[in-house]
Structure 1
Amino acid sequence: MREEQFEAARQAEAGYHSNFYKNNELFEEGTWMSRPMPMVMEMLERLLVHKQQLRVLDLGCGAGRHTIPIAQRLSDTNSEVIGVDLLDEAVDGLRKYAKQYEVDHIVQAEKADVEHYRIQPNAFDFIAACSCLEHTSSKEAFLETVERLKEGTRLGGIHCITMSTSVEEKEIQTGRQIEPLIELNLPTSEVIALLEHAYEDWNILFQEHVTQTIQEEKYDEPTEFRCELLRFAVQKD
């Protein structure tokens, strides 16, 4: 993707999400923030069987769709949950909801670009990267980010990754197909192959991809966003 295409995609995605966080509440019914993804909470429970005090990283956390439920589950422990997002509206929202749901004592909100976020080696037990790695600038940047996540994970730690792959968009009114404005649009099969190779020495706990359709107001005309949502969970042996 050329630099100008990337910037256009980044601006379109940022505008859509900023408006969404302003106009919708966390856990609001009928929105994609209504509840956390079951895979994330199930993998957290799997980890808690063996370890009660966790250090958690939620990349591309938004307003806290996963950060807040994770923190609620860990609120009675000496755990730490760090949520990272590029958008001011997301970071401000996470801080607001952490106070509202009384988990601000273990939640930290940080503003940063996932692609350039520094992670110390062996720093985390649980990393969620949900719908954020497709916003990296290239396939190489995506793989470099995955490597940083791996290096930053303790033995026995778990990664939960979800990605929108094979993205298509069309105008709802006309049905006209348009070029998707998303930073990294890779075929599902390619992403699966890349992740399986990157995590070849880890234990794959869960893997599936399902078709997902969402109506968006990202352009001048309302559009239908269609993708294969890939869910992938692995554990460091």
Structure 2
Amino acid sequence: MLEQADFAKARKAEANYHNELYHEHEILEAGSWMSKPNSLVMEMLDRLLEHKERVNVLDLGCGAGRNTIPMAMRLKGTGSQMLGTDLLAEAIDKLHENALEYGVTDGIQAEEVDVELTNIAENHYDFIVACGCLEHVSSEIALVKVLNRMKLGTKLGGIHCITMNTDVQEVDIVSGREREPLIELNLPMERATTILQEVYAEWNILEHKTVIRSIAEDKYDTPTQFRCHCITLAVQKIK
């Protein structure tokens, strides 16, 4: 866990990076990792819709709507409800803009809130998405608390779709030197996997894999390469 001063630096660095990203790139357009939604998110949504006409969806750390907008487009006209939450005001503003552009304003509500402080209504959601936000909580304890609140907020048969970056490294592209990564919760892959397995011990695992990711970022004064083991997990509440 980062010291308080380093945690604040990590938050500021992430905010600057994402704000610049939202300014320079649009969702669902080529040029960044936001160019298309997470394929597993859409697959799990379709899985739910095989058995339900309408669903309640929570997208934690929704950003500008990389996943939120495609889900809303898929759910348009079904009477489904969707809430997207994000820590950054700029992300929520951009989500509203994108909802208007893609004609899905009626299907999306948005809230500016830290994932640790998000109020998740009990037994309310059919689908909860947490892609790339859980590594931005303050501690392992906070991570487990968020996961348990997600569980309590999920209806029987509901699904969680999670991606979480672990073993994060940040390498200066020019010098090739590794720098101390500024990320709030940089867990080893094995530890994060153990936590997820323990929390979801009684749920049905639909998908679980880990892949190596490498993304060029302009997060600091010089360009860096973001490297990690990304855990992808889809689980379903069966009792």
TM class by shorter chain equals over 0.9
Structure 2 CA distance for aligned equivalents of residues 37 and 67 of structure 1: 10
Contact 1:22-1:89 within 8 A present in 2 as well: no
2:31 maps to a residue whose letter is: G
Cα shift at 1:190 = 1.0
Shift of 1:76: 1.4
Match of 1:100 in 2: 101
Aligned-residue identity in percent: 52
Distance 2:20 2:30 in 1: 17
Counterpart CA distance in 2 for 1:166 and 1:26 is 27
Paired with 2:141 and 2:33, the residues of 1 have a C-alpha distance of: 29
| Residue 167 (structure 2) aligns with | 166
Report the Cα distance in structure 1 between the residues aligned to 2:26 and 2:66, rounded to whole angstroms.
Answer: 10
**Where does 1:9-24 land on structure 2 (aligned, <5 Å)?**
9-24=10-25
Is the partner of 1:105 in helix, strand or coil? helix
Q: What RMSD over aligned residues (CA atoms) do the two structures have, in Å? A: 0.7
The TM-score with structure 2 as length reference comes to 0.98
Aligned to 1:232: 233
> For residue 75 of structure 2, what is the aligned residue in structure 1?
74
1:51-89: CA deviation from partner (whole Å, max 9, x where unpaired): 111000000000000000100110011101111011111
Q: Return the letter of the residue paired with 1:51.
A: K
Residue 151 of structure 1 pairs with residue 149 of structure 2: no
Q: Quick one: distance in 2 between partners of 1:134 and 1:222?
A: 22
Aligned equivalent of 2:142:
141
Deviation at 1:30, TM superposition (A): 2.5
**Alignment partner, residue 198 of structure 1:** 199
Match of 2:91 in 1: 90
Q: Which amino acid aligns with 2:171?
A: K
Q: Distance in 2 between matches of 1:187 and 1:98?
A: 36
Point out where structure 1 has 5 or more consecutive residues left out of the alignment.
none
Any gaps of 5 or more consecutive residues in structure 2? none
User: Is 2:173–2:224's contact at 8 Å kept on the other side of the alignment?
Assistant: yes
Q: Tell me how far 1:22 sits from its aligned partner.
A: 1.0
* Contact 2:25/2:31, CA 8 A, preserved across alignment: no
Distance between the aligned counterparts of 1:101 and 1:90, measured in 2?
16
Alpha-carbon distance in 2 for matches of 1:87, 1:128? 17
1:47 aligned counterpart, secondary structure: helix
Matched residue pairs, number? 237
Instruction: Specify the alignment match of 1:34 in structure 2.
Output: 35
Helix, strand or coil for the counterpart of 2:106? coil
How many angstroms apart in 1 are the aligned matches of 2:49 and 2:122? 21
Q: Distance in 2 between matches of 1:88 and 1:21?
A: 12
Q: Deviations over 1:122-145 (max 9, x none)?
A: 010000000000000001101100
Q: Which amino acid aligns with 1:184?
A: L
Q: Does the 8 A contact of 1:121 with 1:153 survive in 2?
A: yes
